[in-house]
Amino acid sequence: MTTLVLDNGAYNAKIGYSHETVSVIPNCQFRSKTARLKTFTANQIDEIKDPSGLFYILPFQKESMNEILFEEYQFQAVLRVNAGALSAHRYFRDNPSELCCIIVDSGYSFTHIVPYCRSKKKKEAIIRINVGGKLLTNHLKEIISYRQLHVMDETHVINQVKEDVCYVSQDFYRDMDIAKLKGEENTVMPREEMVLSGKYKSGEQILRLANERFAVPEILFNPSDIGIQEMGIPEAIPHFFKNIVLTGGNSLFPGFRDRVYSEVRCLTPTDYDVSVVLPE
């Protein structure tokens, strides 16, 4: 029997048959400034010539999913499972000698720290941090709107900017000092894998980012920077230091895995081993 896997995320939906290429599509509907009477769904966003000023409509209705899958698509069986549980399952499969692990699931809405022992979730030890990709995008919109251009209505564009140029600093205060320098002395880490879409045309507005590139992801590690009185990710990780598994969209920030490792290492006694895994 062929298995279809659907990751119904808060921002993107990922879908594909097992062992095949996965399709990633926006998990929402859109209306643009220029075509408000027309609704675009999922990857139809590619048809929109001007991605600025998109209005989002979240279409997901949990109670309707079973009806659609069984009646419309004739599915024989459906299994609902948490994405973190699948990450834990893979970790235990690849490391059969390990009994425990910590899943750090940093997604679009929240970050969850979930311990597993003998493949079972320990519900009483779960920690939720109210910081996710959506909060980071909104904070970046506020910073840019205050310092340069008004972009409070440009969620899609600024979210793409965040994914293209932001990264996790390994030494925040050193990078802040470097970002203050001018010209070639400003050596803030470039993103070699940046994807440049389109070309700059004379007369168009340019968005210049310096410390914003690493100050926004820093909220994952220090939520108190913007008044959220909660622990950062390294502090929230309990004592399974040797079996830390990262997942979720925010784990894709360059430097995320190294920063989690270095901070957990600082919080851990020297005679303890620390291992942080970011599955491919």
Q: What are the boundaries of each domain within the chain? A: 4-72, 82-280
pLDDT recorded at residue 72: 87
Q: Facing residues of 219 across strands?
A: none
CATH class of 82-280: alpha beta
Q: Which residues of 112-124 are buried (b: 16+ CB within 10 A; e: fewer)?
A: bbbbbeeeebeee
Question: Helices 155-165 & 133-147, crossing angle to 10 degrees?
Answer: 100
pLDDT along the chain (280 residues), means of 10: 83 84 82 69 71 65 77 88 90 91 93 91 92 96 92 88 92 89 62 54 76 94 94 87 91 94 92 88
